[in-house]
Chains A and B, each alone.
Chain A
């Protein structure tokens, strides 16, 4: 995996190969059924770090490939498709915050810590500059997919003097997990309460903070796109094989129509996610509008398409073992992560 001149499509294909090898279905199945998934996640993290996937967006001096957002989004799509338990967005957001120090970046890229983006929290602290280690009073509760496995939190904090992007170690007094939601079996959500925490300021420029937040939203949209592609492909294959009344069920209009509508949603989500990613990589473009469109559309339709996949699979779609419920769980959690559809649509007109 070389320079940024490699196309996003090629990076996506590479990511898919790596993930098919590192996290095939039997590993997914074992992961979901394990009493303690920590060791498996650690193994997986190390493998992906070794393949260079975690460091994709990081600059070369931090051990990364310096890939743009289009490539990172392509990787995120494949991670969603594979239902990967390792969050990739955190390190991408760290990379995007220009003042993150090299050592922190290197550690993120090597998988030494899992940084997960979450927002919003309110901040009561004196104005702080990037690089400052501050004892900030952060109030609030955040939930985010993958937060349950996070060692570090990247927080968008709303302060009296404007927003800040800060990095906080999870394991400290003042940061407390009050509940864990495991609706998405591949990425537990921790409800984290913060009352007083030490954090490092990553960015204080409102535009940079907004971009970091939008990057998290975009990569979640990409994750949903992957999840719905995966579920849809399973449903299409099933519809070709499964026979009833002497014919494959894919030949029945109602089934075919569901799958055709799913295809349309996937095509539209693809172009919106790609366009939003391209906006990040094009200095002249604003990201807010394309991200809002991608997030609202991809996440809302992913929930429907993954639900329809369960439907097409019929009784077996309703069984734990068929695994397509995992796509539905993931899409459902993504829906309200980093701004729900209504919130993002509120930014469009």
Chain B
């Protein structure tokens, strides 16, 4: 039982076609998760998978056909996101391009930018990263300090970015730089399309608590970016990126739920039957609680979908991500207990260790729990702004 929109006959037929494609085209050999790629062979294998997804029509769902997209809607995008997860399909390297950089260029870029950059995102020729957060600008992103000095027909970029996923493999970077230090913070920022191969760009990988090195520090030392690589108006970078991120949240809820449902299913497979002991009861009670939270979050996603299709994304729509982050952490904790109690196979220890530690990032990325509570408090409940 789902949403009227997702259960419409057209959407169901589309879902079946996607499932069929995945059945026929999933890679035979397991692909390393993009977080753990090491060596050119693995990177090339990941790129091949990106190209295959593109050839199968599973990338750029909502992009216009003239730029290589499928010209479909949010519904199809959600269906593909859900089916990729349900099939345990490998992640793909181009995700920043397809989900963040591409939509930003599509919505706010010039025609020349669209023609130059969109298709290579979909074909996997160019891998993108984001240059947003800085060591001193995380939740308070608008305080960013990376400088973009306008000199003639170029912008000279100096500064540092952090938490940039896939930067070590990227060809391009969607970066937020301060082009007008005298303007109010939100209005002096520009979004630029930066060439990662340009002189002055340095990438230093960061090790996450999971052991992976998915993201990096980026150092920009006098990097020259042509003025025609500014996306949207000069000084309009904040608005440009925030509207993109708001739309990204629309599918984020569905994607996250899909992954959590897979974890839940694995937990249910090893959950012990009720044997009357307090320990078993506690495990089963926790599993039931989390299954309820997941179901509720999914129902909120469906309800939000109707609202987003009608009015666009809004502050109310942070609820699924907020709830999911807590539920997912609890799921990985429950699974770890099952593992350490010998109830889940020891062979899965690596998998669950990764999930447990990775889940600590859920309440930090894409809006910390503390920030999202503030968004709800101020923008949904109308409480006065605080500190």
Contact = CB atoms under 8 A, between A and B. Distances in A.
Interface of A: 236, 239-240, 247-248, 250-253, 256-257, 259-261, 263-264, 267-269, 271-272, 274-275, 278-279, 282, 285, 293, 296-297, 342, 345-346, 348-349
The binding surface of chain B is classed by DSSP as helix
B387 A240 contact: no
Contacts of B384: 240, 247-248, 250-251
A260 B369 CA distance: 11
B300 interface: yes
- Residue among A260, A267, A269, A342 with the most chain B CB within 10 A? A260
The binding surface of chain A is classed by DSSP as helix
Interface residues on B, range: 35 or more
Contact of A251 (B268, B296, B299, B386): B386
Nearest to A266: B319
A272 B383 contact: no
B292 interface: yes
Interface string B355-387: 000000000000000101110111011111111
Contacts of B386: 247, 250-253, 256
Contacts, number: 107
Contacts of B382: 236, 240
For the complex of A and B, the 7 pairs showing the least CB-CB separation, nearest first, are A251-B386, A250-B383, A256-B377, A271-B299, A345-B288, A348-B288, A260-B373
Contact of B271 (A260, A293, A349): A349
Given A239-B383, A257-B377, A349-B287, A293 B292 contact: yes
A345 B377 contact: no
A286 to B, nearest CB: 11
A225 B297 CA distance: 16
A332 to B, nearest CB: 19
Interface of B: 1, 268, 271, 274, 284-285, 287-289, 291-293, 295-297, 299-300, 303, 319, 322-323, 370, 372-374, 376-378, 380-387
Contacts of B292: 272, 293, 296-297, 345, 348
B300 A271 contact: yes
Nearest to B382: A240
A202 B201 CA distance: 79
Contacts of B1: 275, 278-279, 282, 285
A346 B288 contact: yes
A348 B296 contact: no
Contacts of B288: 296, 345-346, 348-349
B383 A293 contact: no
A339 B274 CA distance: 19
Contacts of A269: 296
B381 A260 contact: yes
A263 B380 contact: yes
Contacts of A348: 288, 291-292
Contacts of A257: 370, 373, 377
Given A250-B384, A257-B370, A346-B284, 17 more contacts: A239-B383, A250-B383, A252-B386, A253-B387, A256-B377, A256-B383, A259-B377, A264-B376, A268-B296, A268-B323, A274-B299, A275-B1, A285-B1, A345-B284, A345-B289, A345-B292, A348-B292
